[in-house]
Chains A and B, each alone.
Chain A
Amino acid sequence: MKNNQLIRNVAVLLVAALICVVAGSAFWEQQQPDVLYTGNPNITGVLKLSDYNANLKGTINDVDIYVFDSGVPGGKAFIYGGTHTNEVGSMLNAVTYLENAKCEAGTIYVMVHANNSGYTHTQPLRGQIGKMTFDLPDGTVREFHVGTRLTNPIHQWPDPNYRFNPSGRELKHDELAEIRNLNRNHPGVQDGYLTEQTCWAIYNFINTEGIDFILDGHEAGAESTTLVNTLVVHENAVPLGSTAVMNCVINNLPMRLEFSGQTSYGLSHRGLGDNTNALCTLFESCNPVMGGYHEKIDEALFKDGISGNYRAMWEAGLFGNNYEIPEEGWPIEKRTAYHMSISKELINAFDTLYPDKPIKVSGLPDANEMIEKGLEYTLKSLG
């Protein structure tokens, strides 16, 4: 009798171990880094975040910052995505710059994976996919991981019991996980937690390089009615932001301008806007899969952004009139095009508003063409 029970218990443990190994392979795959195309001849240098905070050396968040130096002195822009790693439109905008941009005046800095750790895990109960793929015309495939908005606990654990860092945000009780949110801890702490160190590296990079303005890319669920298709600007960046938004609207890309809240502690537009000389902006596009009402989650929903549920709710007037949820949805190429357009218009606006600091970019795909043909036609093949 005892032997039977022992055999049964051992069998159960073996089955559990087998399931763990099989499931573990999926989690292991999520840990592997994306391969980026870095063959753009206009890249003039590659910096690392650890150049600005040595504490990041050897960590997963020691990511690359690509430099596009025109050789013509002028303004300096910093465009980055991947703060929240499930908000893929922002990351793909940075990829578009990385693969295509040519700086004609001034310098542009591009960072693709601001919180690289976030790409290595997904959030429970969200039923998220772990990656998205694009089939290119030459038959090759580009893959990009999709993560979640927080640093992975395997890279930063445990969360503290209480934290009041220079961001001014007091983290306690149920908000403590926000210590792993890159967009809640700016300007960061040089020797703090990994996420704080990353924030501090960005802060120090901006100060050291004398960055004139930044764009931090994000996405929001369609129910985030005050955020979708909105450029949030620090009060110092209002002329810059309003000019850029106005030009996007004129170019038939409707969006809004919102001021950074005085108590938006630790968000990039507040934390970096208050503590650096850079004009700080943040843009949010619409990503239906991030909300709570979407259909079955698959790559098609992630990429095509077509949600009948959201369309029905928008038609019922539940989201107000700040933006539209069209029948064709919010496909990834359209979201990326929005990010690309607002960042380009910010560059143009800065160039106009500050003629002593010229900054010009070329080489980017046409937004309408990107929307029409898809990212498959703008992404570069890895060969």
Chain B
Amino acid sequence: MEIELIVFLVMLGVFLLGNFLFKLPVSLSMAAGAVAGALVAGEGIPLRHLFEGTFVYMDTILIISTAMVFMTVIQESGALEALNAVIVSKFYKVPAVLLVLLMFIIMFPGMITGSSTAAVLSAGAIVAPILLQMGIPAPQTGAILAIGAIMGMAAPPVNIPAMLIGGGVDMPYIGFEGPLAFLTIPGAIFTVLFIGLRYCKNLDYEKIKGGLDLEIGKKYGIKLYIPIVVIVVLMVACRMLPNLIPNLGMPLIFMIGSAVGLFTGKRFNAVKAIREAMKTTVPVLGKLMGVGMFIQIMTLTGVRGYIVINCFGFGLVVLYAAICIVMPAFGAVSSYGAASVLGVPFLLALLDTGDQVVIAAALSFICSLGDLMPPTALAGNYAAQIVGEKYSKVLRYCVIPFIVCVLFGLFTLLKSRSLGFLT
């Protein structure tokens, strides 16, 4: 057995033992796996490399942290609730449109934070009661939340698996918006209509109305939405007019939006709310640090090259099968990890088959679906918790949308050359 394979198995083994047997956080388990891999490869404990890996995603960590603060602010200020109320009251007569709009609300936090957990815990928690009142049973509601959050995580502008895959091959995160929207929006629409539409063809608005906070919108008016407008305007302006408007950076934009949000709606204890929000985010941030260490050691020890070279050894059919099965399955460990460990070599193996950005986007989309994989199943577990069901029941209703999404991702991979116009 090659030494690289032994190192890889040790890294994975130590990670799984730490996470499942010793119940260590994913981040610490990955760090332990990285250290074990380095030891087996004869590198000792290479502190310099572990440090480099730990801090490589500092930019992303700042983005997620500040985005979570922003999400908390607009949730606590009442902006999300008001937005829900507006959408439901305007669109209850067209339930299909209503469901799609609610799905977009679930996706929104994931789109700007790149985290399905953030999406489920914030917008998901607000939309869930509405879906339940519309007559969608709890397990199906949980499935909509879970997949909606994952679609949000994979949707532009922030898709962390795509950033990780691109970073692994020195591909800048540019031109991903089109392909990612192409993948996630149909996936989200299909899921919410497939699972939810049959239960709400004849909606009783009077019944739903009870669960909506119709007053908050009236009380604060349009100013409730100013923080959202501010961040959208700043993001777009920095992109469109880089020579006129300095690039503030996503963290600063979110902090500006958060600061504005403190004065546009309900008063709340900002320090307490933000502290709670950060508590839920720190494990995700730690994961990124662990992933950085893991990949640095994989590169140092040649495991990464070993995986790549073996991927090249596959025929294309086996390669595509591995992408559809192994990448989401790796989500049981971490979807970010799947992107870094498997996404990068798969991208390298497919580079010549079509448009590189479209391929990377499709791989990141398939990776993201790994957040449904038990036992970690970040999105699924939190969604089940919100609707008060066991995850196994929720997971049952995720199966068909999951398969459809993976197949759609595969289609995109196969047709990436023709879809190059999206970049």
A residues at B contact (CB < 8 Å): 19, 22-23, 26-27, 122, 124-127, 130, 161-162, 164, 172-176, 292-297, 307, 309, 312-313, 316, 318
B residues at A contact (CB < 8 Å): 3-4, 41, 47-53, 55-56, 167-169, 172-174, 239, 242-243, 246-248, 292, 295-302, 304-306, 308-309, 312, 344, 348, 352
Query: Bound state CA distance, A312 and B311, in angstroms?
Result: 12
Query: Bound state CA distance, A172 and B49, in angstroms?
Result: 29
- Nearest B residue to A174, CB-CB: B172
* 23 residue pairs from A and B, CB less than 8 Å apart: A22-B47, A26-B48, A27-B48, A122-B52, A124-B55, A124-B292, A124-B296, A125-B168, A125-B292, A127-B49, A127-B296, A127-B299, A127-B301, A173-B242, A174-B172, A292-B168, A293-B305, A295-B4, A297-B299, A297-B300, A309-B305, A313-B309, A318-B352
Contacts of A127 in B (CB 8 A): 49, 296-301
Query: Bound state CA distance, A130 and B49, in angstroms?
Result: 10
Q: Are A172 and B242 in contact (CB under 8 A)?
A: yes
CB distance from A47 to the nearest CB of B (A): 35
Query: Bound state CA distance, A289 and B242, in angstroms?
Result: 36
Query: Bound state CA distance, A294 and B295, in angstroms?
Result: 14
CB distance from A104 to the nearest CB of B (A): 43
Instruction: Known A292-B344, A309-B305, A313-B309; judge A124-B174 contact (CB<8 A).
Output: no
CB distance from A220 to the nearest CB of B (A): 12
CB distance from B27 to the nearest CB of A (A): 14
Q: Are A164 and B243 in contact (CB under 8 A)?
A: yes
Contacts of A126 in B (CB 8 A): 299
Contacts of A172 in B (CB 8 A): 242-243, 247
CB distance from A218 to the nearest CB of B (A): 16
Instruction: Known A130-B48, A161-B247, A162-B242; judge A296-B41 contact (CB<8 A).
Output: yes
- Nearest A residue to B173, CB-CB: A174
Q: Are A162 and B247 in contact (CB under 8 A)?
A: yes
Q: Are A162 and B243 in contact (CB under 8 A)?
A: yes
Query: Bound state CA distance, A173 and B240, in angstroms?
Result: 11
Q: Are B53 and A125 in contact (CB under 8 A)?
A: yes
Q: Are B56 and A125 in contact (CB under 8 A)?
A: yes
Q: Are B302 and A295 in contact (CB under 8 A)?
A: yes
Instruction: Known A172-B247, A175-B172, A318-B312; judge A296-B300 contact (CB<8 A).
Output: yes
Q: Are A292 and B56 in contact (CB under 8 A)?
A: no
Q: Are A293 and B309 in contact (CB under 8 A)?
A: yes
- Nearest B residue to A171, CB-CB: B242
Instruction: Known A172-B247, A173-B242, A295-B302; judge A124-B52 contact (CB<8 A).
Output: yes
Instruction: Known A124-B56, A293-B348; judge A173-B292 contact (CB<8 A).
Output: no
Query: Bound state CA distance, A198 and B230, in angstroms?
Result: 40
Q: Are B247 and A173 in contact (CB under 8 A)?
A: yes
